[in-house]
Structure 1
């Protein structure tokens, strides 16, 4: 099954769902903005009356006190409004990151295969940060700005219609600024894409720091990171160039309007058509008119930049999650007497990676196909075998034979292109993924350990496990020594990716984590690949104990670990070529005999 999602261009309406959770705070900000606008509009009128009373030699004390009160009140309200606005903006970023992180962790595994980790990190970090600027830079200012502009314009018309016409004529130049600001969105999206590429390059270099150091490739990798940084710099400069053009254009228009008003107004004061108080009030209203217009231009520019970032966020959110692309699952009871795991004529090919878009965006939103029979080279062909409950089945064969892929199909990281994979007699595609994976314990070939402590890693699969049980499972996999090294015990840190542990310790910790879940079926992808002979023997004993109550499906390169398996499935080039016990296969299958001979298991 393939699902294709068309890239949808975002607009202001796309922001509405993001703002909905903060509606009450934003409404409060809007009301305070209106109060600020009202207080701001009152100030020129009060100053006009003060000047007129001074000219008429009348007392101005009460008016001055009222003016000071209005100034202080506006300042207090404005400060409160800004705090609420900043808090709402931070809440918007938090809710967006929460939504995006939750979505990212539920994407089909294929999406992680085709995307760069750094680019995804950039969307959660840098792109969501730009949404803050959309709110704080003046989006809500527009509401109060409209009130101020309308109020100021009305008062200017009442004071002197002729000078208002002069003001409007001076504002024609703002059209050019708007045209420039419209180009910011596309440039912003490209700039964020370049930042994503740079983050990917840094993430790649840091995660492979030991390999790079050992290969003496620091200079080459630094050059690669710098190249990405230069591309991000160039995109940022293009963005800055546009913004630099907008600022002077708006400033020139505003200055021209002030000069025109002062010139015409001064002439009208000289002829007695206006009083000095009228001119001062008109100039102040002109200032109030221009200030929101300048803020609106800035808000529009920031909005275009934010929409560019929002486009990248929406591109990821548009990719269906695992659950979204599934047909409605049928909760079917296990079939009595059925094997634990069964493959029936299964064929599978990994999907081809999507083409990079012209805009440099690696979202892949144009091709969100699931990995159910991709267009690449088949890695499995007509695979059929079953794993009875309570038995141990080993998968052996040369590298690239498709052994690990079989485990991935059982876990439903991918769906078979042809044939069926069944667990407990039910097709895995007919089972809700949560129910399916609750039956499976899975240890990957690379046995990832998450940054944090030993305890946090163990509790990943069983968060309510007590300390006694944690220590017991560590002892079962011969890993007690890692909690005895320091006084921290189970709270000892393991480092980024488990770097403070040896390869064998990481492998055993991953197995201990899986055993804690108590799943009836264990999928182990070469569990002893990084163990020495002593620890391999200890781990084999632990697996033997676990298999008394569980079904094991094991991928093995070291045949010594599976010679006592109930059945061994031999794969070559994606096909099952033999099934039997170690003794049977050593006598009847040339490939297995060759593998066993190389490992000194047969002469």
Structure 2
């Protein structure tokens, strides 16, 4: 458990955690040794001169003060490590998630990451801040007390020591019986979290279908699965908890019976017998609490295992000696790429000279957006290479590659903040004049003028308070402010009204000027702005040429063009 916790924490927090564990262990041992002073105290009290107990009572009081200081220090250290670690772990998890390939983020990850970022990290903090100290005390203090009992009377110490292997066996058996239920409960919890998010996101569809007041069956089923799994998990704990209680009470009773027998036989005195009673009772208390603490630790361990699994997921590798591209032409050299078992590209080759515009056309699922993602290195190719300025993108520092690329996707996500804050994401160090110039070029200034609050207007989570066209203008202004040499466009006007489409096109034209551009086109009229067009189908380039050349050939591209222009002609 502690080894996993140290691994999850990383080098930065491992050393403070080790020191905290050492301090907690010393505190637990000292607590056990403190009870050894009861032996001379009771002997003096039941001896010829009870006043002889005063020095031992003073020593015991001093020991209690030392123990209080140690306990306070260890608890405070655990709390500090826990809270500091929580802040650091959020950063570590966020940085790691940002380095994972986009393919890792499938639909099932939504609930998993949501649970991990809340319950998982809080569990990691709870171990060090709340659970570790009582767990160490429950394990170490009884063993120390048994050692003290053995020194006082080897027979009683041996009788108490019999409990140790039995307790360990019960703990191992309980942990194994709970392992399956823990995994199932975690899977059900992640599923229910994903369904809650889905339920919230699906509100427009549910309300449009007149089902806003109905129960959402998928969510209900997921919550019922969680309830059943939690019930099974609770029932699996009972045998171990009951067994632990019975064993501890049985050993405690055996020690008392043996102590009584020895006292009646004259082998030990009254003082020693009373000491044994106190020590046996004190060692039984933490052992009885061990079941509850162990259950909480098992739940925390399960969360830590899932967190550890994500942190050990290999991110996209980074070059030991990154190369800085001097040019900004693009090249796909015999690229092979798969999504699971699906082959997206097989031996695809393509080049885009610096400063030119390439339009990518093709049916849905042909891999058009994937081409853009390979340039931005959201994925790594399975074969061949993607190059920027003759340099394999895998040999370029990821931050440099991102700094050289401006990406505008069809689905724009804005962070819950002001318009200006979202625009500044393109280049946080830009001055006010540069931000305003980018906004004007994207015709975002028109939006700002009519919104209450202007530049300080809040866009809502995901940009929910803005229309699709307004979000696109923010995205284009952000890309313009970035002033990157490579522009990647995933058709940004396919769902816009004519007014917003015109405004966005003007912003896009300014964004593309003088830059290397790869644009995915769903609306065929945008293709006419490209220097070259490629038609992609079944993972390969079917046709390639200028817009006019491809129309004259009368192939797949011409067919797509005629189909897209037919509604316009009929109007």
Regarding TM over 0.5, the answer is yes
Deviation at residue 541 of structure 1 after TM alignment: 2.7
The 8 Å contact of residues 342 and 422 in structure 1, kept in 2 or not, is answered as yes
Q: In the alignment, is the contact (CA less than 8 A) between 1:452 and 1:494 conserved in 2?
A: yes
Q: 1:472 to 1:334 in 2, by over 3 A?
A: closer
| Residue in 1 that maps onto 2:568 | 600
- The answer to whether residue 338 in structure 2 is matched with residue 340 in structure 1 is no
Residue 277 of structure 2: aligned partner: 283
The equivalent of 1:370 in structure 2 is none
Deviations, residues 106-136 of structure 1 (Å, cap 9, x unaligned):
1111111364311122233223333345445
Query: Per-residue CA shift, 1:275-307, capped at 9, x if unaligned?
Result: 332221111122333345445555555444443
Shifted more, 87-96 versus 452-461: the winner is 87-96
Q: What do residues 67-89 of structure 1 show as CA deviations (whole Å, max 9, x unaligned)?
A: 45544553454233222223323
2:41 matched to which residue of 1? 49
* Aligned partner of 1:88 among 81, 89, 113: 81
- Superimposed CA distance per residue, residues 335-378 of structure 1 (whole angstroms, 9 cap, x where no aligned partner): 6xxx82344555x55322xxxxxxxxxxxxxxxxxxxxxx31x4
Identify the residue that residue 5 of structure 2 maps to in structure 1: 15
Take 2:139 and 2:537, find their aligned partners in 1: how far apart are those partners?
72
Aligned to 1:109: 102
SS in 2 for 1:105: helix
> Do residues 30 (structure 1) and 18 (structure 2) align?
no
Query: Which residue, 552, 560, 566 being the options, matches 2:525?
Result: 560
Q: Which has the higher contact order (CA 8 A, sep 6+)?
A: 1
Task: Quote the Cα distance in structure 2 between the aligned partners of 1:218 and 1:299.
Answer: 43
Cα distance in 2, alignment partners of residues 142 and 127 from structure 1: 19
Equivalent position of 1:476 in the other structure: 441
Q: What SS is found at the alignment partner of 1:494?
A: coil
Q: How many residues align?
A: 564
Does residue 497 of structure 1 match 2:462?
Answer: yes
Within the alignment, does 1:242 sit opposite 2:236 as a pair?
yes
Q: What is aligned with 2:190?
A: 196
CA contact (8 A) 1:185 1:306 kept: no
Shift of 1:313: 2.1
Does 244-253 or 72-81 show the bigger shift?
72-81
Q: 1:273 to 1:566 in 2, by over 3 A?
A: closer
The answer to whether the 8 A contact 2:534-2:545 is kept is yes
Decide whether the 8 Å contact of 1:451 with 1:496 is kept in 2: yes
User: 1:131 — aligned with what?
Assistant: 124
Q: Which range moves more in the overlay, 43-52 or 476-485?
A: 43-52
Q: In the TM superposition, what is the alpha-carbon distance from 1:555 to its structure 2 partner? A: 2.2
CA contact (8 A) 1:190 1:235 kept: yes
Which has the higher mean CA deviation after the structures are superposed, 473-482 or 557-566?
A: 557-566
Deviates more, 1:457-466 or 1:427-436: 427-436
Change in 2 beyond 3 A, CA 1:421/1:251:
closer
**Which of the two has greater helix per residue?**
2
Question: Could you give the per-residue CA deviations for residues 533-556 of structure 1, whole angstroms, max 9, x where no partner exists?
Answer: 233323333333333332333222
Which of 283, 289, 314 aligns to 2:308? It is: 314
Moved more, 313-322 or 508-517: 313-322
> Using a 3 Å threshold, how does the CA distance of structure 1 residues 261 and 345 change in structure 2: closer, same or farther?
closer
* 8 Å contact kept, 1:44–1:284: no
Query: Structure 1 residue 316: deviation in Å?
Result: 1.8
Question: Which residue does 1:542 correspond to in 2?
Answer: 507
Listed one character per residue, the Cα deviations across residues 54-77 of structure 1 (whole Å, up to 9, x for unaligned) are: 663533666555545544553454
| Contact preservation (8 Å) 1:181, 1:304 | no
Deviation at 1:449, TM superposition (A): 2.0
Could you tell me which residue of structure 1 aligns to residue 339 of structure 2? 351
Q: Is the counterpart of residue 389 in structure 1 residue 354 in structure 2?
A: yes
Q: TM-score, normalised by structure 2?
A: 0.85
- The unaligned stretches of length 5 or more in structure 2 are none
CA RMSD of aligned residues (A): 3.5
> What's the offset of the Cα at 1:202?
1.5
| 1:501–1:54 CA distance, 2 compared to 1 (3 A) | same
Alignment of 1:66-215 (within 5 A): 67-113=60-106, 115-135=108-128, 139=132, 148-168=141-161, 173-174=166-167, 176-183=169-176, 184-215=178-209
Query: Are residues 1:404 and 2:369 paired?
Result: yes
Name the CA shift for 1:600/1:329 in 2 (closer, same or farther; >3 Å). Answer: farther
Structure 1 residue 503 displacement after superposition: 0.8
How far apart are the structure 2 equivalents of 1:30 and 1:281? 29
3-state DSSP class of the match of 2:568?
coil
Cα displacement (A) at 1:205:
1.9
Q: Structure 1: how far apart are the matches of 2:466 and 2:283?
A: 65
Deviates more, 1:232-241 or 1:135-144: 135-144
1:274 is paired with a residue of what secondary structure?
coil
Mapped contact 2:31–2:141 kept (Cα < 8 A)? no
Where does structure 1 lack aligned partners over 5 or more consecutive residues?
Answer: 1-10, 353-374
Give the C-alpha shift of residue 48 in structure 1: 5.4
CA apart distance, 1:487: 5.5
Distance in 1 separating the partners of 2:474 and 2:97: 26
TM-score, length of structure 1 as denominator length? 0.81
SS at match of 1:553: strand
Distance 1:488 1:256, change over 3 A: same
